[in-house]
Structure 1
Amino acid sequence: MMDHVPLSGGAPKGPADRLCEELQSLKSSSGLTYARISERTHYAKSSWERWVNGKQFPPRDAVERIAAVCQADERRLLELWTLAEACRTPAAVLGAAPGAAPGAAGCGAAPGEGDAASPDRRQAVRLLLTVLALALTAGLARSVALRRELRRDTLPGGGV
């Protein structure tokens, strides 16, 4: 797991920082202890302490469960989680500007503001890569078929 490193001064907060703040806010406003959250979500209280304090990144399921327990906006929390997860993984590099640090694509922006790290952008990149792979596969298959056809036509007794 990647450790949380709080951003300093007036620098914009990354999605992992904002997710951490949301989890802290949920815990505070719910009035629940880590032990109670643990009982209701079936995750260890020590895990909740690490996630809420930003020492470790929480799994998606834990974020879903705390949203349910605290009657919070699950969609908003999962948007933050998805954006933060994209910033943690090498896949986020796909939309990064040239020279940008790995995982930096849109990672300082609010959900929906970071085109490169947005779910729509990632889905479009995946679709493009899939279409490209299919086109290359079809071209290769056509090339192999043509080569076989040429070989058959040039062999003795092959027809021409």
Structure 2
Amino acid sequence: MGLIGQKVQGIFTVEKGGKKVADAIIINGTAYAPVRAVSEATGAILTVEGKKIIMGDVVVGGVLPSRDVSVSSELSTKRDEVVAEIEKKAQQIANHKELRIKVWETFIKENPNSTTIPQWQASLDEANTQLVQFENELAFYQAELAQINAALGE
């Protein structure tokens, strides 16, 4: 049984790396997506011969041969941006530890009988929570840098 005349039951979004690649339609519980969009997203070489669509092997690093130079340049630029973000985030973490966490810890330690310790402790807890968020963001940038370096063969 062919697909011609079948009812489309839904539309799904095909994504790679959080970015939309294409829309896929659902017919009889099966998703159908544009072959060219999917092949380009995966880095596979696609050729058409008559009524045949042929998907070749994925090129190392997902880079198509005709795009090697521009993709490499784009990746180098992206790497520079990510390195700058890593440096900014590392400085933000150092400042946060020095100007927020250390201050609240000092207030609590040097004023053990103060009636405001619960508020200071709440501020310290909030600062520690924010520190974890900053450290997670740093880890994200570091992982992104590792992926870029791997794609560049470094």
Q: Which has the higher strand share?
A: 2
Q: Which has the larger radius of gyration?
A: 2
